[in-house]
Amino acid sequence: MRQQTQETNYSVYAHKPCFLLQWPNARILLDTPIDLSPYFSFLPHVYQSQRLKNARHASKFKLPYLKEVGNRIYVEAPPEIFHVSPGMLKMETVDAILVSNYESFLGLPFYTENSNFRGKIYVTEIAYQYGKLLMEEMLEFMARIEFAPADKNWKKEEICGKFPNPPFQNPVEWRPFYTRTDMHQCLTKVVTLSFNQTIDLFRIKVTPVVSGYTYGSAYWTMKTENERFAYLAASNPISTDVKFLDVSPLRSCDYILVTSLSRLVDTNAATMGASLMHNITETLRGNGSVLLPISPVGPIFEIIEAVSDVISATNGISIDTPIYLISPIAKSAIAMASISAEWMSESRQNAVYRPEEPFAHGNLIKNGRLKIYDSLYGSFSKEYKTPCVWLEVKKDESPKSRAGVVQEQGSRKEPLGKREGSRCRPSSDTITDGTCGSYRWRLRRESYA
């Protein structure tokens, strides 16, 4: 790119991008990730687990909130998260934030509140709605935690560094989750857009384009007087339930900043989906139950359909095998999926306009095969029966996520990766952070003729 334009990468995770673009007349932040992996350092909050409630103090550290379970030390306190420092980003000078999908939307208040940010946030309508649901879900989980906040003494290197399971980040940089007030203040700064709707931000033409990753996900194109630029975050060229990735705007770009590259080199979403269904089938055939950690929005709708088909079509599995979905926002997420025709693939859209529902979960709820609960307690604990398929909210997306009986395997989210024969090449000024896996590409326009 020309020298007048600068881009800076602030994330160390390829799948959680955060870039700052700077022009002489504007500073635009691309995505606002958070890292939930610090949760591994905090004692799980389980209401009815006597083992955790009665966990013994780690006496050698002389801090009453440090508990020992299974030769590991945990902090008995509300969990914290890690995010890019607003001070490092100088949020008071950022003019706008572009959000690629609802997963990035979840972290917005950490960047926009108590940071003197005075700009606007731009996101597609359905990504806003789902992102808001995820915010509300996380705040609901936090409200259920009965632990008192701990002081910061445990974060000293001479203490946490001696844990059998020391934090793999500096815990001094971790922060408590934001408040509901922070969330509402953040949402007042949001401006929703439709796909291909162009707006003018400080003489820069900005447009969200279908990325195919999940509902409402977009990549962003930016046009100045001198060049065309695209920011391609998580994308999927073979999505089945949302609109396909629209590559046509990329063909006229001078530069593309590519991140969230697929790390699945030798496999694909279809293969992993088939493997997952095979494992579920064999488990249910053996009269076992399946625990599937998964987000309450996105691929879960396809997973529910696939699991119900397995139960219906497989000999040796009772048609009455229940599917449990447990999340405080599950009912809202399912209702929204059924009416979000604008964001669906063509086949899903066609179902909306016929006397049938675009997803199977509507009928599954009506006939009692899909049962939804806000939490593990109350009516669920009384009605639960086995064998079953249990879809539980996945509160951590780290590669080191704790395993369930059967864990989600790739589902549908396969970001657009670098392929053999690609008609583009990395420029000499590739992003320097080698841990991020993000590249800026110089396109040869004539190759697309």
Report the 10 Å Cβ neighbour count for 434: 9
Q: What strand order describes the sheet that includes 80-83?
A: 34-35, 80-83, 175-176
Identify the CATH number of the domain defined by range 269-393: 3.40.50.10890
pTM of the model: 0.80
pLDDT on residue 328: 86
Lookup: tokens for 237: 């060229």
**Nearest residue to 219 via CA among 122, 104, 99:** 99
Report the C-alpha gap between 346 and 344 in whole angstroms.
Answer: 6
Q: Where are the domains of the chain?
A: 6-37+77-261+418-448, 269-393
Report the C-alpha gap between 386 and 317 in whole angstroms.
Answer: 12
Across the chain, which has 449 residues, the per-10-residue mean pLDDT values are: 74 89 94 94 77 84 92 93 92 97 95 96 94 93 88 94 93 95 97 95 94 89 92 80 84 91 69 88 93 82 87 90 89 72 55 57 82 84 89 53 33 31 30 32 31
Report the C-alpha gap between 296 and 28 in whole angstroms.
Answer: 30
pLDDT on residue 47: 60
CB burial class (10 A; 0-12, 13-18, 19+) of residue 353? Answer: exposed
Residues in contact with 16: Cβ distance below 8 Å, sequence separation at least 6, in sequence order: 31, 33, 34, 35, 104
pLDDT on residue 101: 94
Handedness of CA 376, 382, 385, 388 (dihedral sign): negative
pLDDT on residue 331: 82
CB burial class (10 A; 0-12, 13-18, 19+) of residue 71? Answer: exposed
Multiple choice CATH, 6-37+77-261+418-448, 3.30.70.1400, 3.60.15.10, 2.40.50.140, 3.40.50.1010: 3.60.15.10
**Nearest residue to 361 via CA among 381, 341, 382, 333:** 333
Q: Is the previous residue joined to 167 through a cis bond, with omega within 30 degrees of 0?
A: no
Report the C-alpha gap between 429 and 444 in whole angstroms.
Answer: 16
Our measurement of the distance from residue 276's CA atom to the centroid of its chain's CA atoms, rounded to an integer in Å, reads: 20
- Decide if 11 contacts 436 (C-beta within 8 A): yes
